[in-house]
Amino acid sequence: MDGIINVHKEKGFTSHDVVAKLRGILHQKKIGHTGTLDPDATGVLPVCVGRATKVCELLTDKSKTYTAVVRLGVVTDTQDMTGNILEEREVSCSLEEIKEAVSAFTGEIWQTPPMYSALKVNGKRLYELARQGIEVERKKRKIMIYSSSITDYRPEKNEFTLKVCCSKGTYIRTLCHDIGERLSCGAAMASLVRTGVDDFRLEDSFTLAQIEDI
C-alpha cells in the first residue's frame, strides 16, 4: 500500500504508537508520521505509507491548526496541566486584555522550546533531562503564528479556547504559557486538538479502530 492516511490520534497514544499499531493493522513496515503530537493531545496526524514516506518531510513543513483550552492563573513545569503546579496566581484580567495578549503573539515571533520536549541537546532529549531535574539553556526559534483567535471564554473557570494557525516547530503549550506571562497571571494548556495539517482536516480523519475495521 502506498499513500497518506489521515489518522485521528486519540488521547494516550504517542505518534510512534500510532505508527507501530498501523504496521500491525496494515502488515506493512514502511510507515512514517509527519510530526509528533503529545500523548495527551488529539487530532490530525497524517501518516505516510510505502512510497509516500518520501513526502513525510514535505508535510512536516506545512502549516497546522490547533484548538487549545488555556487555563489562567496557574504555572506548571510542563506548561500544560499534566505537570506539577509551580505557582497559582490571581486572575484579574478582562477579556479585552486577554485578546490584546493573544494578538501580541501573532506574526513572526521568537519562542523558547520547553524543557519537556523531544528536542535533543548534546544527544539527550530535553524531557529526559527535565525528568532528572536538569534545566539547560535552549536557543530561541523563529516561528510564525498566521492567525489566532479566542472562540470561547469561561471567566468562572479562568479558561478560554484559543484557535491557532501556525508554522512547524510551534509549541502551543509554550504559546499558552507566554500569553499567561504577558498577562502576569500565568497560564497552562488544559487540552489540545490538532484540527488540521495543510489540507488534512479533522472531520476527514479516521481513528485506528476505524482504520482496522476498514
Q: Which positions are catalytic? A: 38
What whole-number distance in Å separates Cα of residue 123 and Cα of residue 130? 14
Contact 204, 10 (CB under 8 A): no
Q: Is the dihedral of CA 184, 188, 192, 196 positive or negative?
A: positive
What whole-number distance in Å separates Cα of residue 157 and Cα of residue 64? 27
Nearest residue to 170 (alpha-carbon basis) of 200, 201, 148, 199: 148
Contact 192, 202 (CB under 8 A): no
What whole-number distance in Å separates Cα of residue 172 and Cα of residue 42? 13
